A and B are shown apart, each in its own frame.
Chain A
């Protein structure tokens, strides 16, 4: 393993007691309440699952926590600082990274430069950024693809590059939006392994959005369930799986 977690993150004020918090976060779109007074606290070195039927508001909550969507009410805190009105790049530079459901790689750029973009924007020189990108690609098993244009990668690799890009410069928290969607069981095992390694290698807290219950149950210590923007259940995988409200929400949508 080439990535050393003991160095921690370079973000100012980083410490292991740092938390990323949503406090009564509400997001409304013209009448539709996509996220409805949601509270959650993400700690470093934990893996929190965020599940719920399609349209439950999971992506919107991640948008609100990363500066892409200003909450209509409530706020998001990083440590003692309210970050919900700050810009996405500021939030990324201060240690909260994310991936996208759609991958969103820089398609015209080589795979390595996709990661270098994040590294240079967080303060590295181009040379250091390149070495850092190669380290991350090595870690995630794509070092041999470094020189390929990102646009030609299959989507399984695309997701992994997205994760590597989010991990550039060791963020304190990383929010993964459906990294295993559409993957086979074997590919899911691979993603599960990657997600489990993130807190160990990088020391960061992980919020994992995923539909595949096997992945969620396999890697998460805690789970938060949303339905129609509201929290309907929280707890360990075993508790949530047995919760009749959760079962009903999922059956109701099938």
Chain B
């Protein structure tokens, strides 16, 4: 039996849930990369971008207990903000003639562009959250939904900056599997550290009992706003990754469909656990991929189109009915060796 007595071992145990998730993804990426299968690699990158989105949503939803229907709005903001900086230098003026001169004439490196996309989403979250985070429960959820509707409609009509209902084409496809993996690891690490920080702890207390949290000195509004802004930042970066994965953008792809898929992933995995967010993405992505392949037909056998959405919907319903705490039961990946109850690590049960 291994007991966590050395400082190194204690550290390993503290970070164990994080280590397992990152290593697990590393193995998946390495295997897919070695097969050289291009279709599979596409599915993988899409899955990694979704991990960034779902883990970012988890940071807010999992810790605050407030379901957000609006986070895809931040993905939208980040996606277009990145395109303004990197897209199609020669045709940018054609797609987005309204951009300021600086953006029309200058391109930023992909990493900087994605970062700034996240920053813009975070700034918008700060302003929108100032109103929405004062609400509680279902009112807050509906507030986030209204927020997304506003931005979706605005981006559709704001065609000099977004090309409106038509697509922006010609983004460099820089989101490779390894780039996607790097961002997934950064996001998962951030979520892990946030959840275990004093801010994560305070926010989770308000999820359990808002009144008692206030009586314990927790600034519930402030903690929610902080989590909202941080999660919007990562959602914004995911938007940039998504654009550089597809090589094109349409406003329509950041709407109800993506909201449904990402929230399903979070719920199926387990809304209040980081492991749940990651596992939910993996499971649902595999299901969608298999159903999509069946839709196009394998060996003369095929199923009706849109079966993937139906399949995800059914799985979501089954989870809600049979196991509402998700596949992980809202738990994190635990230390598989003997528990040393006297040391403080054992107390860090993820709640």
Q: Hey, which bits of chain A sit against chain B, CB under 8 A?
A: 66-68, 87-89, 92-93, 97-98, 100, 104-110, 112-114, 116-118, 120-122, 124-126, 129-130, 146-147, 149, 165-166, 168
Point out the residue from B204, B215, B218, B347 that lies within 8 Å of A100, measured CB to CB.
Answer: B215
Chain B residues touching A, range: 20 to 34
**Chain A residue at smallest Cβ distance from B222:** A89
The reply to whether A104 and B351 form a contact with Cβ atoms under 8 Å apart is: no
Most A Cβ at <10 Å: residue of B198, B212, B341: B212
Chain B nearest Cβ from A155, distance in angstroms:
15
Chain B nearest Cβ from A90, distance in angstroms:
8
The reply to whether A112 and B217 form a contact with Cβ atoms under 8 Å apart is: no
Point out the residue from A121, A124, A130, A149 that lies within 8 Å of B216, measured CB to CB.
Answer: A121
What number of residue pairs across chains A and B have CB atoms under 8 A from each other? 95
Chain B nearest Cβ from A132, distance in angstroms:
13
Q: Does B30 contact A (CB under 8 A)?
A: no
The reply to whether B341 and A92 form a contact with Cβ atoms under 8 Å apart is: no
Of residues 186 through 208 on chain B, the ones whose CB sits less than 8 Å from some CB of chain A are 196-198, 201-202, 204-205, 207-208
What chain A residues lie within 8 Å of B207 (beta carbons)?
A: 108
What are 14 A-B interface contacts by the 8 Å CB criterion? A89-B216, A89-B220, A92-B214, A104-B209, A104-B211, A105-B209, A106-B205, A106-B212, A110-B347, A116-B201, A120-B202, A125-B198, A147-B349, A168-B216
Chain B nearest Cβ from A223, distance in angstroms:
25
The reply to whether B205 and A147 form a contact with Cβ atoms under 8 Å apart is: no
**Distance between Cα atoms of A92 and B217 in the complex (Å):** 5
**Chain B residue at smallest Cβ distance from A122:** B217
What chain A residues lie within 8 Å of B197 (beta carbons)?
A: 126
What chain A residues lie within 8 Å of B218 (beta carbons)?
A: 89, 117, 121
**Chain A residue at smallest Cβ distance from B202:** A121
Closest 7 CB pairs of A and B: A121-B217, A120-B198, A118-B216, A106-B208, A92-B217, A88-B214, A104-B212
Q: What would 14 more interface pairs be, CB under 8 Å, given A104-B212, A126-B197?
A: A89-B217, A104-B215, A108-B351, A109-B205, A109-B351, A110-B349, A113-B205, A118-B216, A120-B198, A122-B217, A124-B198, A125-B198, A149-B349, A149-B351
**Chain B residue at smallest Cβ distance from A126:** B198
**Distance between Cα atoms of A109 and B65 in the complex (Å):** 14
**Chain A residue at smallest Cβ distance from B213:** A117
With contacts A126-B201, A129-B198, A147-B347 known, is A109 near B217, CB below 8 A? no
Chain B nearest Cβ from A204, distance in angstroms:
15
The reply to whether A147 and B351 form a contact with Cβ atoms under 8 Å apart is: no
Of residues 205 through 261 on chain B, the ones whose CB sits less than 8 Å from some CB of chain A are 205, 207-209, 211-220
The reply to whether A89 and B219 form a contact with Cβ atoms under 8 Å apart is: yes
Q: Does B346 contact A (CB under 8 A)?
A: yes
**Distance between Cα atoms of A130 and B348 in the complex (Å):** 10
Q: Does B344 contact A (CB under 8 A)?
A: yes
What chain A residues lie within 8 Å of B201 (beta carbons)?
A: 113, 116-117, 120, 126
The reply to whether A92 and B198 form a contact with Cβ atoms under 8 Å apart is: no
**Distance between Cα atoms of A87 and B211 in the complex (Å):** 12
Chain A nearest Cβ from B4, distance in angstroms:
15
What chain A residues lie within 8 Å of B198 (beta carbons)?
A: 120-121, 124-126, 129
What chain B residues lie within 8 Å of A68 (beta carbons)?
A: 211, 214-215
Chain A nearest Cβ from B328, distance in angstroms:
15
What chain B residues lie within 8 Å of A107 (beta carbons)?
A: 208-209
Most A Cβ at <10 Å: residue of B196, B204, B205, B344: B205
What chain A residues lie within 8 Å of B214 (beta carbons)?
A: 67-68, 87-89, 92
The reply to whether A109 and B204 form a contact with Cβ atoms under 8 Å apart is: yes
Point out the residue from B205, B211, B219, B341 that lies within 8 Å of A117, measured CB to CB.
Answer: B205
Interface string of B133-169 (1 = CB under 8 A from A): 0000000000000000000000000000000000000
Chain A nearest Cβ from B14, distance in angstroms:
12
What chain B residues lie within 8 Å of A166 (beta carbons)?
A: 215
Point out the residue from B209, B219, B220, B349 that lies within 8 Å of A106, measured CB to CB.
Answer: B209
Most A Cβ at <10 Å: residue of B197, B202, B211, B216: B216
**Distance between Cα atoms of A97 and B198 in the complex (Å):** 20
Chain A nearest Cβ from B331, distance in angstroms:
11
What chain B residues lie within 8 Å of A126 (beta carbons)?
A: 196-198, 201
The reply to whether B216 and A117 form a contact with Cβ atoms under 8 Å apart is: yes
The reply to whether A112 and B219 form a contact with Cβ atoms under 8 Å apart is: no
The reply to whether B208 and A109 form a contact with Cβ atoms under 8 Å apart is: yes
**Distance between Cα atoms of A112 and B214 in the complex (Å):** 18
Most B Cβ at <10 Å: residue of A87, A93, A121, A147: A121
**Chain B residue at smallest Cβ distance from A169:** B217
With contacts A89-B218, A120-B202, A121-B217 known, is A105 near B349, CB below 8 A? no
Interface string of B276-298 (1 = CB under 8 A from A): 00000000000000000000000
With contacts A89-B217, A92-B214 known, is A117 near B351, CB below 8 A? no
